[in-house]
Structure 1
Amino acid sequence: MTGTPRLHRAGPALLQRARGLRPLIEHEAGQAEAQGRLTAPVVDALHETGVCGMWVPAPLGGAELSPRELLAVIEQLSYADASTGWVAMITTLENGAAGAYLGDEAVEHMYKGPRMPLLAGQGTRPGTAARVAGGYRLTGRWSFGSGMLHAQYTHSLAIVEDTGEPRMFVTPVEDITMLGNWDVLGLRATGSIDYAIDGVFVPEPYTHPFALDEPRRGGAIYRLGLLDQALLCHSGWALGVGRRLLDELIGHVGARAGRPGQLAGSDAFHTGFARAEATFRAAAALVHQTWDDTERVLESGGRLDVRQETLVRLALNHITSTVAEVARFVYASGGTSALREGPIQRLFRDVHAGTAHITSGPAALAECGRELAGLAPGEAWAVLGLEA
């Protein structure tokens, strides 16, 4: 690619279609949770509306949404159902990255069908890759392959043995062993099982450096690199589930207003709800402000500096911890309705599963504080830590 990639915007049509999927997604959520994966009608609808191509480069027929457009679509899907939003954000992030960064041979094969390919996998705990003629031999075991039961390809991090280079490797799901152990507190419908690969040959065009931030195809969003795009994913998810939690509590309390002893007449509840609403809105505002600034940087042809990299990490960490606080308040306020199977109980479990993700962990927050306090001069972000 020559010149500086431009930031692509697709407009509001995909957001409107995503919003229109809410009745179907909500109807299917219970069955999806019971079977441990999204139902076929929901997956079909995600394809038919173009959601599965929301991150794919425009030259490959995708929507290639801008960061703010992606935030809005992921928020809508996650509001409808946390597991659906999670599967959509992860599989589309990875098919977008594959389309932007893989070699021509891989892309010509993967993106030639009537549907966008879905990718799933793990990019934190690496396997190993031995260099051989024409590619690599990939071996490893990866935990929490988000959306694996919905994917046609895996997208796995491994370290190249002779160089120590971290690379991403794309393999057909037929080449992996699915370990089938998705027995978890929340996000049960995501099908995010552990998987293993034993000495599978991966051709060179089906790999790319983990830290690659210059796309072969598509525009400026891919200059963020894989990690920053993942931060965007999880931020949109937290926005959706946090708003849904508060709205569910509004409906719960309103349906019981006027009855003796109900929360609707409690000053303590009124105060607590006001604080929860304000805290969530403030955290959401930081997310939006941070990604608004990011778009301006990308539009100008620039890259994020260290402080901007800090802020996208801080915004995600803050919205995630805030939503966890909101979930605890909503659950405590929901009484026996929250205890029983239903939206509040499921959201409570899903939120606490989501907070366990490494991108929102305490180590990243501590590094943000170190940089913001001026204690990391000359250091730059390397994944979730600062290095000189």
Structure 2
Amino acid sequence: MNINVTAEPPTATELMARAEALLPLIEAQSAEAERLGHLTDEVVRELRKAGLFTMLYPRVVGGPEISHFDAMLIHEKITYAHASAGWYVGVNNMEGTTMAVYIDQAGVDHVFAKGVDITIAGNGVPRGFARKTDGGYMIWGQWAYGSGIQHADWIHTGAFLVDEAGEMIMGPGGPKVIIAHHPRETIELKGNWDVLGLRATGSFDYAVKEGTEIFVPDEMVYDFDIEAPLRGSHQGTIGLAGFSAWAHTSFALGTGRRILDELIKVIVPRRDAFGPSAQSASFRFQFAQNEAKFRAMRALVLETWKGASDTLEAGQPLSQHQMTMIKLCLRYSHDVISDIATFAHRAARGASLHNTVMQRVYRDIHAGTQHILMSDQIFEECGRALMGTTDPNAPWTVFGVADGGK
């Protein structure tokens, strides 16, 4: 290993304090970020300096490698201030950590030659293609939703593996997919991020130049369904399936809490033709229902992730049931915040029609529910596992239990 790790990484407590110190800046620059279509350079610079983009990175590359549970609480806090800032934090931790624990050592030595402070973005959902060649892969295609790519040093790209004839190579669970990592300068942005919500995530489409391919060496590539990390603690054993669930579920916690708090700010001082809104028995009843719904969801999420973190910290892999609950929380948390946001929007009676924080959070929540990981098939797989009809030894992948759907 050629990485020189000398500084003691920050603790979870220190990272939370740094995050809380940055919240006023994140809030103050959120409107400008929304206008730009990506976070401001200053906010990104401060998040990097605080180590919040790398809090899950393994200690062997200089990262703090705090628990997923502790990182979730920090992610939740940042997302509460500005969902797009939380999205950046989630993406960089997810894609950077998986790269750090799954690629070969030569790749790690190259990426982290100057230290742990790197940024990464892209889309691991395969939209392009890869062909094996001597020493690596030739990659081509166009990808969508490269969240945070405006500020990325490295690109994380999913690609279908094809043979010399261009036909997809099949594996036990379907087409073979690889995750390739390549420098930011190897791609071009399409500049097409004009969307309903999560406007400041800069989730532009990107592509290699039309009619060209890029070479990505073997040491910068790993298999989409990889299970065993090559370095770091047991945290890496949750794979892309677990890391992606962590990022999106953390987003749900922060935005769900914020939309309810913004609704309170609207309702308590408001008087209309029906009198003081806060005195409406109907509103009080519905607000209590939605508050309970959010708190119950959050309790389930934290119980699930605390148990998972304790298991991993004990040096044990997660059981299939634990991964099932992680995936269940992923989808369920978004169902809950979607319902809560719809209630808040209707109860506000016009307040969220205007360009306010409440409107922004409403849009961000419904943008988050559009992700492919919120598909009904995720819940279907959870149901299959919870009924005990899966192979109990089969691992979870990003999209389901890898037992052939038996």
Structure 2-normalised TM-score? 0.89
Q: Which residue matches 2:203?
A: 192
Deviations 1:6-50 (A, max 9, x none): xx9933110121122111001000000001000011011101111
Within 5 Å, give how 1:158-237 maps onto structure 2.
Answer: 158-162=159-163, 164=170, 165-197=176-208, 198-237=212-251
**Conserved in 2, the CA contact under 8 Å of 1:83 and 1:187?**
yes
Q: What is the match of residue 5 of structure 1?
A: none
Give the alignment of 1:264-303 within 5 angstroms: 264-303=278-317
- The structure-2 alpha-carbon separation of the partners of 1:103 and 1:277, relative to structure 1 and needing over 3 Å to count, comes to same
Q: From the superposition, tell whether residues 277 and 78 of structure 1 become closer, same or farther in structure 2 (CA, over 3 Å).
A: same
SS in 2 for 1:143: strand
Equivalent pair of 1:122/1:142 in contact (CA under 8 Å):
yes
Alignment of 1:43-62 (within 5 A): 43-62=44-63
Q: Which runs of 5+ in 2 are unaligned?
A: 2-8, 164-168, 171-175
Give the match for residue 173 of structure 2.
Answer: none
Residues 63-116 of structure 1 deviation map (CA, whole Å, 9 limit, x = unaligned): 212110111111011000011100111022111111222222322222233671
Amino acid at match of 2:186: D
Question: 2:126·2:160 contact (CA, 8 Å) conserved in 1?
Answer: no
- Whichever residue aligns with residue 337 of structure 1, its letter is A
Q: Tell me how far apart the structure 2 counterparts of residues 378 and 215 of structure 1 sit (CA, whole Å).
A: 21
Q: Supply the RMSD in Å over aligned alpha carbons.
A: 2.1
Q: Residue 175 of structure 1 aligns to which amino acid in structure 2?
A: T
| 1:136 shift after superposition | 0.8
8 Å contact kept, 2:240–2:397: no
**Aligned: 1:385 with 2:387:** no
Judged with a 3 Å threshold, the aligned counterparts in structure 2 of structure 1 residues 271 and 173 are, in CA distance, closer, same or farther, namely same
Question: C-alpha displacement at 1:291, in angstroms?
Answer: 0.9
Q: Distance in 1 between matches of 2:397 and 2:229?
A: 19
| Equivalent residues of 1:120, 1:151 under 8 A apart | yes
Aligned counterpart, 1:321: 335
Matched, 1:307 2:321: yes
Q: SS state of the match for residue 268, structure 2? A: helix
Q: Which amino acid aligns with 1:374?
A: G
Change (3 A) 1:102 1:374: closer
State whether structure 2 residue 354 is matched by structure 1 residue 340.
yes
What is the CA distance between 1:257 and its match in structure 2? 7.1
Partner of 2:91: 90
DSSP 3-state at the match of 2:254: helix
Tell me whether 222-231 or 159-168 shows the greater mean CA deviation. 159-168
Contact 1:9 1:66 in 2 (8 A): no
SS at match of 1:237: helix
Greater percentage in helix: 1
| TM-score, scaled relative to structure 1 | 0.93
**Residue pair 2:18, 2:50 contacting (<8 A) in 1 also:** yes
Residue 226 of structure 1: how far off its partner (Å): 1.6
- Map residues 239-278 of structure 1 onto 2, 5 A cutoff: 239-256=253-270, 261-278=275-292
Rounded Cα–Cα distance in structure 1 between residues aligned with 2:286 and 2:367:
24
Post-superposition Cα deviations, 1:52-71, rounded to whole Å, max 9, x if no partner, equal: 22122112221212110111
Match of 1:151 in 2: 152
Cα shift at 1:378: 5.4
* Distance (Å, rounded) in 1 between the aligned partners of 2:145 and 2:203: 5
Q: Once structures 1 and 2 are overlaid, which stretch shifts more, 115-124 or 76-85?
A: 115-124
1:365 matched residue in structure 2: 379
Instruction: Determine if contact 1:257/1:265 at 8 Å carries over to the other structure.
Output: no
- Aligned partners of 2:153 and 2:79: how far apart in 1? 22
CA separation of 1:308 and 1:267: change in aligned 2, threshold 3 A: same
Q: Are the aligned partners of 2:198 and 2:367 in contact in 1 as well (CA < 8 Å)?
A: yes
The aligned amino acid for 1:194 is D
- How far residue 297 of structure 1 moved from its aligned partner, in angstroms, is 2.3
Who is 1:13 aligned against?
14
Give identity over the alignment, percent: 37
- How big is each residue's C-alpha offset from its partner over 1:283-337, in whole Å with a ceiling of 9 and x where there is no partner? 1111111112212321333222222221111111111110011111111122222
8 Å CA contact 1:223–1:303 kept in 2: the answer is yes
Equivalent AA in structure 1 for residue 399 of structure 2: L
| Aligned pairs, number | 382
Q: Indicate the larger mover: 371-380 or 154-163.
A: 371-380
Q: What residue identity is the alignment partner of 1:189?
A: A
Query: In 1, Cα distance between the equivalents of 2:27 and 2:147?
Result: 20
Distance in 2 separating the partners of 1:308 and 1:378 = 12
Change (3 A) 1:115 1:294: closer
